[in-house]
Structure 1
């Protein structure tokens, strides 16, 4: 009987052949292999406004034997994420952004609607799914393209239209809104925010007039997360936006990154903070949150949270550079009625 030298076989293949041979000798029937689906993050080109009938799928499936050692690693985005530290200071960049924001048009009416189209991506925990002896898995999910029509004065019922990644559209009403105590729930409430830098800085830190920040890192991180939520969730009046960007520039610990990428695959320049997860992630690791702006127009593009650290063990699926979550603002404008696009 001829034999095939082990050196000509792929790694581990000779072991599989020996096991198969022993099953033949013992008359055993080999078990059907169990396979699991694992989604990995991948980046796509920007969504074209006219192609809203089908949402963009930002994920690809790969398979791996469940009997393998540990969960399969998702695709690492480290080589695909072109971020690089910029020599530009956060204060300089945000001043340029503030000047651009102050020039935006005004004249919004209370019975109009703020239209926002977003593309969303995130990792989520699924305790019901395990791989090997790992307690839980994390999987990448595209939330898909969403359109929202939110009442300018909060007193009109709005509309949410979600374009599912698998096809189909889900529409839900957006209820009338009351002013939030610690959040901005509609455009006219944003008109009540400070339009001076110091006042906006106090608002970000939750300080009373005359009170100074504690100087603690945790307070700076909380202010940055609050800024991320306001900027992503609300359209700001021009004067308010200008004060906002100048106030954010006063938060210690910021860096500027060139080539930051959002959920829609677009790249821009970002103001970022290491150690902060504006988009939640509970699997350990070292996060970094980024506020991304268009390189040319300086318009706000959205936010991303990136994992910075290598996995500590085989049960942690994210590599350094992988995208944890992202919200891409594809379009934002004021329209006359809900359901109407700019």
Structure 2
């Protein structure tokens, strides 16, 4: 739900690369979608069914160094009320050709603004108070949570002939997700990055869902303990906790009191700061709660409208140079354009109902 979304782990070891990298000749795609298709293909193999034909192989291998944070959680075996799009697998093989991915564009570079803890408590309180007062729709079992976002993520192309690399980002594009409250049914439409018309996110077993998010405790301290219980010792547990909360925000409908508790819990995580100016994928300026991942050198920023304190989207900015990505490079951008409850899968709301 809330991707994967966002996208850049630390440089993996050879075993990790063998597991996560697309095979030579695979089409360019973010790791969350690669992982999604990988799960799907494994299910098809187990069921002795034949997957859809692979598209024509391109001439370059693609090394994705900018993956959504959701993919990190999935790779580590961590789940915590995620959006449903990072770990769900498509229901049936697509019979249509794979989409033609839009040509990559130059990565934007911004001036780095330092974060501070001076206004952390007061800013978080304003965000939480405004969120708790905001009315949010409550979907019934036969309805769908609809989230429309604008997204862009970083990738690096590596030539198999010369071993030379070049860093690019996806063009900003629209992504629409429909998920049932129980997480069993869904649809993803991402023109240019999914087959025409979209793909199913239906699954046989209940996944992370609106109902799971709704059931989370609304006391910040209790909630934070629940979050840390889902982390492991394989990497920075504080960063994992921050990532897990961010995943919920990305593509999910969160009840007002729960959302307020999530923001208050996040402020208690060591390393979280306030960045006074950040900009989402739609170009909207806001104040951000942020944390620097020491392993990847990327600071993830959750952006809020500075007047209404509505969650706008997220941004990942390279702070420390890693893998030849220079400081100030924007490696990940999202913007929530609409968030609502609709009656049918693939139905779009007539009037946006922001959460």
> Based on CA coordinates, which of the two structures has the bigger radius of gyration?
1
Q: Which residue of 2 aligns with 1:97?
A: 127
**Are 1:175 and 2:202 counterparts?**
yes
Q: Partner residue of 1:13?
A: none
Sort the Cα spacing of 1:276 and 1:226 in 2 relative to 1 into closer, same or farther, 3 A.
Answer: farther
Which deviations, in whole Å up to 9, do the C-alpha atoms of 1:219-244 show, x marking residues without a partner? 21111111111221322112211211
Give the counterpart of 2:155 among 124, 128, 131: 124
Structure 1 pair 114–75 and aligned structure 2 pair: CA distance change class (3 A): closer
The answer to whether the 8 Å contact 2:103/2:171 transfers is yes
Q: Quote how far apart the aligned CAs of 1:256 are.
A: 0.8
Check whether the contact 2:312–2:336 (CA below 8 A) recurs between aligned residues: yes
SS of equivalent to 2:263: helix
8 Å contact kept, 1:159–1:173: yes
Report the Cα offset of residue 159 of structure 1. 2.0
Any conservation in 1 of the 2:109–2:328 contact (CA below 8 Å)? yes
Aligned counterpart, 1:227:
245
Shift of 1:247: 1.0
Aligned match for 1:321, one of 304, 308, 328: 328
In the alignment, the residues of structure 2 paired with residue 200 and residue 75 of structure 1 have an alpha-carbon distance, to the nearest angstrom, of 36
Q: CA RMSD in A?
A: 3.3
8 Å Cα contact 1:110-1:188 kept in structure 2: no
CA shift digits 1:186-242 (9 cap, x unpaired):
11121221121121111221179xxxx99x992211111111112213221122112
Deviation of the 1:257 alpha carbon: 0.9
Instruction: Report deviation, 1:137.
Output: 2.7
Given that 1:154 and 1:177 are in contact with CA atoms closer than 8 Å, whether structure 2 keeps it comes out as no
Equivalent position to 1:191, from 214, 218, 224:
214
Asked if the contact 1:111–1:153 (Cα under 8 Å) also holds between the matched residues in 2, the reply is: no
Per-residue CA deviation, residues 91-140 of structure 1 (Å, 9 max, x unaligned), is 2212211112212324431211111011111111333467xx65433221
1:114 is paired with a residue of what secondary structure? strand
SS at match of 1:263: coil
CA–CA separation in structure 1 for the residues paired with 2:179 and 2:266: 25
1:297 and 2:315 are equivalent in the alignment: no
Contact 2:139 2:145 in 1 (8 A): no
- Output the CA distance in 2 between the equivalents of 1:254 and 1:217: 17
Aligned mates of 1:200, 1:175 — CA distance in 2: 29
CA shift for structure 1 position 78: 2.8
Residue-pair matches, total: 248
Gaps of 5+ in 2: 1-59, 61-101, 350-355
Q: Give the TM-score taking structure 1 as reference length.
A: 0.63
TM-score, normalised via structure 2 length = 0.61
Equivalent pair of 1:164/1:170 in contact (CA under 8 Å)? no
Kept in 1: contact 2:150–2:172 (CA 8 A): yes
Matched ranges for 1:4-153 at <5 A: 60=105, 77-79=109-111, 83=113, 85=115, 89-105=119-135, 106-128=137-159, 135-142=164-171, 144-153=173-182
- Distance in 1, Cα, partners of 2:125 & 2:179: 29
Answer 1 or 2: which has greater strand percent: 1
Unaligned residue ranges in structure 1 (runs of 5+) = 1-35, 37-56, 61-73, 278-284
